[in-house]
Copies of this chain bind each other. A is one copy, B any other.
Amino acid sequence: MHFLSIIEAIKARRESLQVTQKALSDLSGVALGALKKFESGRGNPTLSTLKKLCDALGLEITLSVKKTINP
Protein backbone atom coordinates (compact mmCIF):
# COMPACT_ATOMS: atom_id res chain seq x y z
CA MET A 1 0.00 0.00 0.00
CA HIS A 2 1.06 3.58 -0.54
CA PHE A 3 -0.20 5.59 2.35
CA LEU A 4 3.26 6.64 3.37
CA SER A 5 2.47 10.31 3.82
CA ILE A 6 -0.63 9.54 5.85
CA ILE A 7 1.17 7.01 7.99
CA GLU A 8 3.95 9.46 8.57
CA ALA A 9 1.58 12.28 9.45
CA ILE A 10 -0.03 10.13 12.12
CA LYS A 11 3.28 8.91 13.46
CA ALA A 12 4.89 12.34 13.46
CA ARG A 13 1.95 13.91 15.23
CA ARG A 14 1.83 11.15 17.82
CA GLU A 15 5.53 11.50 18.50
CA SER A 16 5.41 15.27 18.63
CA LEU A 17 2.76 14.94 21.31
CA GLN A 18 4.93 12.31 23.03
CA VAL A 19 2.13 9.81 23.08
CA THR A 20 2.94 6.10 22.99
CA GLN A 21 1.10 3.69 20.71
CA LYS A 22 -0.55 2.21 23.79
CA ALA A 23 -1.72 5.60 24.98
CA LEU A 24 -3.06 6.52 21.55
CA SER A 25 -4.82 3.18 21.40
CA ASP A 26 -6.53 3.93 24.72
CA LEU A 27 -7.32 7.52 23.77
CA SER A 28 -8.72 6.73 20.36
CA GLY A 29 -10.39 3.43 21.02
CA VAL A 30 -8.46 1.80 18.17
CA ALA A 31 -6.99 -1.56 19.10
CA LEU A 32 -3.27 -1.58 19.72
CA GLY A 33 -2.77 -4.34 17.17
CA ALA A 34 -4.45 -2.33 14.45
CA LEU A 35 -2.44 0.78 15.28
CA LYS A 36 0.85 -1.08 15.28
CA LYS A 37 0.01 -2.73 11.99
CA PHE A 38 -0.94 0.59 10.45
CA GLU A 39 2.08 2.54 11.73
CA SER A 40 4.43 -0.19 10.57
CA GLY A 41 3.06 0.15 7.06
CA ARG A 42 1.18 -3.09 6.80
CA GLY A 43 -2.29 -1.72 7.32
CA ASN A 44 -5.26 -0.49 5.35
CA PRO A 45 -7.43 1.16 7.96
CA THR A 46 -11.08 1.97 7.43
CA LEU A 47 -11.98 5.63 7.34
CA SER A 48 -13.62 5.17 10.70
CA THR A 49 -10.37 3.89 12.22
CA LEU A 50 -8.34 6.67 10.61
CA LYS A 51 -10.79 9.24 11.88
CA LYS A 52 -10.60 7.92 15.44
CA LEU A 53 -6.83 8.30 15.36
CA CYS A 54 -7.04 11.77 13.84
CA ASP A 55 -9.63 12.90 16.37
CA ALA A 56 -7.45 11.73 19.23
CA LEU A 57 -4.43 13.50 17.78
CA GLY A 58 -6.17 16.75 16.88
CA LEU A 59 -5.74 16.15 13.17
CA GLU A 60 -8.28 16.75 10.48
CA ILE A 61 -8.73 14.90 7.22
CA THR A 62 -9.12 17.13 4.18
CA LEU A 63 -9.78 16.35 0.54
CA SER A 64 -8.65 19.01 -1.86
CA VAL A 65 -8.24 19.32 -5.57
CA LYS A 66 -4.71 18.47 -6.60
CA LYS A 67 -2.91 21.40 -8.13
CA THR A 68 0.15 19.58 -9.29
CA ILE A 69 0.72 17.93 -12.64
CA ASN A 70 -0.29 14.24 -12.59
CA PRO A 71 2.54 12.33 -10.92
Contact = CB atoms under 8 A, between A and B. Distances in A.
A59 B48 contact: no
Contact of A44 (B2, B48, B60): B48
A63 B3 contact: no
A43 to B, nearest CB: 8
Given A1-B48, A48-B1, A61 B13 contact: no
Contacts of A3: 47-48, 51
Contact of A61 (B10, B46, B63): B63
Interface of A: 1-3, 6, 9-10, 13, 44-48, 50-51, 54, 58-66, 70
12 contacts: A1-B47, A2-B51, A3-B48, A9-B63, A44-B47, A44-B48, A47-B47, A54-B63, A58-B65, A59-B66, A60-B65, A61-B61
